[in-house]
């Protein structure tokens, strides 16, 4: 095939991707130094309609160091219909950190496991992956480095670490083999691109990208991030109906509220000083009081320190990205607090029960959620998960009160009544959610909410205990 014909076919495949908007494509180039990576990407970008491509060559910045490692990549994932090209990307991070001993052998293997999970999640969300290892023999690499150094017009192309990468050629070769063996999969195979003149390299790259663009998406069950093994829930965390007791008196509540909010304010200031992020997820039955509980929490905080995220049906922007993108992008910086009024658990609750997610998607989500939360903890975040429960009788009373109160009527929707009609389906989904996502460090707290005052204090107490435990922990 002529170069012109290949370029035409590639452009047609890209424009079809743009028109259909069914999937995105991610291209990664990593490997040895001075293998034309930058030049190839520049020329490929000219072959493509570059309004629909984006190129990333990342150096960690302040805002990225203040969030979990994968945040920097999740926030740069392309919309459906677009192509993103990463020079080195997550592979370069792992490869060079290990070569420079910033990652131990065990940490390197852990990072590769994270990469497998990340790419599996992308593939399951319809993202096509093209991964290229750029090869060059050591003597050829040395001659190229010397030629670049001697040419004033091209010396600028040498990066500060290129000679160091040359000295580490054998090590990088060995680490590259380990890396490729650990992360190759049917949905994300590795391709090797040998060093040669740029023109045949570009044609090879363009041909592989064309194959990726026209390939059918991976089947829904082809990619599961980690084994989806159920984690047994403790007996106390089943979906038991809340026990109804005598309502709490107003005077007792006011005093207890002030004390609980004072504790929270002190902990929040210290967490901010220590640069510890906090993520609080509020789930619960309709009318259980999530909004009221969150309001009592935020009333104790400095408004500059927190943000409340109310999660509803995804926007058009969110639908164009993989499912978890809208939660990753909202993670707080170190020292800040994010409160989620409904959260990533919607996939295994309302999306499951109402048929908004296919079976493969919500079944896969348990493993994806566990991996997401594991990464929050690995970054040092405090994660609190609260489920607000309410009896059927009290829920009906609150629905009827909302319907009869003009300034509360907007809170009651047809969806609330539909959800109530599927009470048993939600009970099953909630119990399975507890069982599959309950583990040390990410325990659920079940709050009985028939008494609004007592439940608000219980929310504050649960959060206070978790924050105070973190502040008291060594290190």
37 lies in the same domain as 163: yes
Kindly indicate the confidence band of residue 474, based on its pLDDT and cuts at 50, 70 and 90. Answer: confident
Q: How far apart are the first and last CA of the chain?
A: 62
For residues 204 and 1, give the distance between their C-alpha atoms in angstroms, rounded to a whole number: 12
Q: Are residues 33 and 124 in the same domain?
A: yes
**pLDDT value for 216:** 83
Tell me the three state secondary structure of residue 284. strand
The confidence band for 234, taking pLDDT boundaries of 50, 70 and 90, is very low
- pLDDT given at position 227: 52
Do residues 239 and 207 share a domain? no
> Which structure tokens are listed for 385?
């998960």
Same domain, yes or no: 114 and 197: yes
Co-location of 458 and 400 in the same domain? yes
Q: What is the CATH number of the domain that holds 155?
A: 3.40.50.300
**Which of the 8 DSSP states describes residue 347?**
G
CA geometry: angle 96, 101, 106, nearest 5 deg: 95
If pLDDT is split at 50, 70 and 90, which confidence band does 444 have?
Answer: very high
Q: What is the mean pLDDT of residues 137-153?
A: 94
CA angle 271, 237, 338 (to 5 degrees): 25
Query: What is the percentage of the chain residues whose pLDDT exceeds 90?
Result: 82
One domain, residues 275 and 410: yes
Of 249-253, 393-397, 460-464, give the lowest mean pLDDT range. 249-253
Distance CA 252, CA 250 (A): 6
86 and 52 share one domain: yes
Q: How far is CA 327 from the centre of its chain?
A: 6
For residue 424, give the 3-state DSSP assignment: helix
CA angle 346, 350, 353 (to 5 degrees): 135
pLDDT for 84 equals 98
Q: Flag the least confident range among 210-224, 348-362, 416-430.
A: 210-224
Whole-number pLDDT of residue 321: 97
* Beta pairing partners, 56: 86
The answer to whether 285 and 390 are in contact (CB under 8 A) is yes
Position 223 in a domain: no
Q: Are residues 316 and 394 in the same domain?
A: yes
Q: Residue for token digits 């090879």? A: 204
203 located within any domain: yes
Look up the domain containing 357 and give its range.
235-472
Average of per-residue pLDDT across 347-362: 96
Residue of higher predicted confidence among 294 and 160? 294
Average pLDDT over residues 208-213: 97
Given this model, what pLDDT does residue 223 score? 46
The rounded distance, in Å, linking the Cα atoms of 219 and 223 is: 8
Residue 222, pLDDT score: 44
Say which residue the tokens 């509540």 belong to. 253
125-129, 178-182, 412-416, 433-437: which has the minimum mean pLDDT? 412-416
Q: pTM for the full model?
A: 0.91
What percentage of the chain carries pLDDT values higher than 70? 93
Looking at the domain assignment, is residue 227 inside a domain?
no
Per the model's pLDDT, the better-predicted residue between 224 and 279 turns out to be 279
75 exposed, middle or buried (CB, 10 Å; 0-12, 13-18, 19+)?
middle
One domain, residues 167 and 261: no
Domain-located, residue 276: yes
> Whole-angstrom Cα distance, residue 2 to residue 254?
79
Higher pLDDT, 444 or 197: 444
Q: What is the pLDDT of residue 236?
A: 43
Q: How confident is the model at residue 218 (pLDDT cuts 50, 70, 90)?
A: low
pLDDT in tens, 238-295: 444 545 456 888 889 999 999 999 999 999 999 999 999 999 999 999 999 999 999 9
Instruction: Tell me the longest C-alpha to C-alpha distance in the chain.
Output: 86
* pLDDT greater than 70 at residue 140: yes
Query: For 343-371, what is the mean pLDDT?
Result: 96
Predicted confidence band at 233 (pLDDT cuts at 50, 70, 90)? very low
Whole-angstrom distance, CA of residue 438 vs CA of residue 285: 19
180 and 272 inside one domain: no
Q: What is the mean pLDDT of the chain?
A: 92
């Amino acid at each position: 095939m002529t170069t012109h014909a290949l370029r035409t076919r590639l452009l047609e495949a890209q424009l079809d991707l743009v028109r259909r908007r069914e999937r995105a494509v991610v291209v990664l180039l990593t490997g040895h130094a001075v293998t034309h990576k930058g030049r190839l990407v520049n020329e490929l970008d000219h072959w493509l309609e570059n309004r629909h491509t984006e190129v990333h060559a990342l150096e960690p910045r302040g805002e990225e160091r203040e969030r979990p490692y994968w945040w920097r990549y999740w926030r740069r994932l392309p919309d459906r219909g677009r192509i993103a090209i990463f020079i080195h990307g997550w592979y370069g991070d792992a490869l060079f950190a290990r070569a420079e001993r910033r990652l131990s052998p065990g940490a390197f293997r852990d990072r590769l496991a994270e990469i497998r999970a990340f790419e599996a999640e992308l593939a399951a969300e319809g993202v096509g992956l093209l991964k290229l290892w750029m090869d060059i023999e050591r003597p050829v690499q040395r001659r190229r480095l010397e030629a670049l150094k001697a040419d004033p017009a091209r010396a600028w192309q040498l990066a500060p670490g290129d000679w160091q990468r040359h000295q580490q050629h054998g090590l990088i070769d060995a680490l590259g083999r380990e890396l490729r063996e650990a992360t190759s999969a049917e949905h994300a195979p590795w391709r090797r691109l040998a060093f040669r003149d740029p023109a045949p390299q570009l044609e090879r790259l363009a041909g592989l990208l064309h194959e990726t663009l026209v390939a059918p998406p991976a089947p829904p069950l082809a990619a599961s991030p980690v084994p989806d093994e159920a984690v047994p829930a403790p007996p106390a965390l089943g979906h038991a109906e809340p026990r109804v007791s005598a309502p709490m008196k107003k005077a007792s509540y006011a005093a207890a509220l002030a004390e609980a909010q004072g504790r929270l304010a002190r902990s929040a200031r210290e967490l901010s000083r220590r640069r510890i992020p906090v993520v609080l997820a509020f789930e619960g039955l309709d009318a259980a009081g999530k909004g009221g509980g969150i309001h009592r929490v935020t009333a104790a905080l400095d408004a500059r320190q927190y943000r409340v995220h109310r999660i509803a049906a995804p926007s058009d922007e969110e639908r164009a990205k993989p499912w978890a993108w809208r939660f990753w992008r909202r993670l707080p910086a170190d020292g800040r607090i994010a409160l989620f009024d409904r959260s990533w658990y919607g996939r295994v609750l309302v999306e499951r029960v109402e048929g908004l997610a296919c079976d493969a998607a919500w079944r896969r989500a348990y493993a994806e959620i566990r991996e997401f939360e594991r990464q929050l903890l690995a970054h040092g975040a405090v994660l609190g998960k609260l489920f607000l429960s309410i009896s059927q009788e009290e829920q009906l009373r609150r629905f009827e009160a909302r319907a009869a109160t003009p300034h509360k009527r907007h809170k009651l929707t047809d969806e609330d009544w539909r959800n109530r009609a599927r009470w048993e389906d939600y009970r099953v989904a909630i119990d399975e959610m507890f069982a599959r996502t309950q583990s040390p460090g990410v325990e659920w707290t079940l709050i009985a909410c028939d008494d609004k005052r007592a439940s608000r204090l219980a929310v504050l107490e649960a959060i206070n205990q978790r924050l105070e435990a973190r502040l008291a922990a060594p290190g």
